[in-house]
Amino acid sequence: MNPIIESLYETKHAENADGELMAIEPASILPEDGNMLYSLVRQHADGRSLEIGLAFGLAALYMCQGHIDNGGGHHTAIDPYQEKWFKQCGTLNVERLGFAESFTFLQQRTHEALPALFRDGERFNVVFLDGNHRFEYIMHDFFYASRMLEVGGHLMLHDPWMPSTRKATSFILRNLHDEFSLYEPALGKPPSFAGSLYAFIQLAMKNPYDLGTARIFSTRRFNNYIVFEKTSEYDIEHCDIHWDFYQPF
Ligand SMILES: C[S@@+](CC[C@H](N)C(=O)[O-])C[C@H]1O[C@@H](n2cnc3c(N)ncnc32)[C@H](O)[C@@H]1O
């Protein structure tokens, strides 16, 4: 992997615009998450990627490295706190990687940035959602990002240990299965029947009102991310008329 990424994980610190070192934990993704992002980008030659939540730039480095190894591509990142919380470490790291010319950074909240990207007709092949983790923000970000995702493209949600991410996943699997399916290579080995039952009981005890989500998360083994593949583009007019097929999630 790239020496900049290696050094960030080794030292656990990133250098900010004032030359000070900032601890990259606990805000940053883990190397295994980055490796999956890298492999997703590698599947889309000359692709365009979008990331929500740049932070210290770990995911961006993996994704941009994927574009570099593909021989071309473009990365867009959104983060309202890049200056305030991260003192530009993320954008600086992308510069240090030598990818600044093919990188667009928007220091905005997603509810400001995403509608503008959509209006401008942007399309992406890989999307990583790791911004505000409240349910309504995940769904907002997913709504816009999924509309801009090409068919055959991949979208990763981070942190399925959070109830909000689990609920969003459950919604997508229960109600958008015509458009999105789980990307199998991102899943772990399925649990045994006993393991699955044990996990179901644990989850059901934690939240007895959320058995549908418990079933989804006990029968599959997820990493700290969930990857969806977009399998078709829905007919927008059909979607504007029909509403009565929704399943509880
Ligand atoms: C867990 S960190 C992201 C870690 C990062 N993806 C990485 O590669 O290590 C969450 C990020 O979401 C950003 N964020 C918070 N609220 C946001 C919002 N409304 N829109 C976009 N990003 C947001 C934070 O500033 C922070 O950088």
pLDDT in tens, 130-172: 999 999 999 999 999 999 999 999 999 999 999 999 999 999 9
Question: Measured in angstroms, how far is the CA atom of residue 53 from the centroid of ligand 1?
Answer: 3
Tell which atom from ligand 1 comes closest to the C-alpha of 34: 8
- What is the dihedral sign for C-alpha 64, 66, 70, 71? positive
Question: Measured in angstroms, how far is the CA atom of residue 13 from the centroid of ligand 1?
Answer: 17
Question: Measured in angstroms, how far is the CA atom of residue 218 from the centroid of ligand 1?
Answer: 28
- What pLDDT sits at residue 238? 86
CB distance 179 to ligand 1 below 6 Å: no
Nearest-CA residue for ligand 1 atom 27 is 55
d(CA 125, CA 41) in angstroms, rounded, equals: 8
Q: pLDDT by residue (tens digit) across 192-213?
A: 999 999 999 999 999 999 999 9
Question: Measured in angstroms, how far is the CA atom of residue 198 from the centroid of ligand 1?
Answer: 33
Q: pLDDT by residue (tens digit) across 236-249?
A: 898 888 888 888 89
Question: Measured in angstroms, how far is the CA atom of residue 232 from the centroid of ligand 1?
Answer: 28
Question: Measured in angstroms, how far is the CA atom of residue 143 from the centroid of ligand 1?
Answer: 17
Measured from the Cβ of residue 225, the count of other Cβ atoms closer than 10 Å reads: 21
- What pLDDT sits at residue 105? 98
CB distance 58 to ligand 1 below 6 Å: yes
Nearest-CA residue for ligand 1 atom 3 is 53
CA distances from 191 to 26, 186, 196 (A): 28, 15, 6
Closest by Cα among 169, 210, 217, 223 to 195: 217
User: What is the gyration radius of the CA atoms in the chain, in angstroms?
Assistant: 18
Question: What are the domain boundaries of the chain?
Answer: 29-187+222-241
Its CATH class, for the domain covering 29-187+222-241, is alpha beta
Q: Which of 12, 35, 54 to mutate to test the pocket of ligand 1 (most atoms within 8 A of CB)?
A: 54
- The answer to whether 194 and 201 are in contact (CB under 8 A) is no
Question: Measured in angstroms, how far is the CA atom of residue 209 from the centroid of ligand 1?
Answer: 29
Q: Which of 56, 81, 127, 165 to mutate to test the pocket of ligand 1 (most atoms within 8 A of CB)?
A: 81
CB distance 174 to ligand 1 below 6 Å: no
Q: pLDDT by residue (tens digit) across 84-124?
A: 999 999 999 999 999 999 999 999 999 999 999 999 999 99
Q: pLDDT by residue (tens digit) across 60-89?
A: 999 999 999 999 999 999 999 999 999 999
For residue 1, pLDDT beyond 90: no
CB distance 53 to ligand 1 below 6 Å: yes
- What pLDDT sits at residue 239? 85
| Residue 226, token pair as written in the block | 């969930």
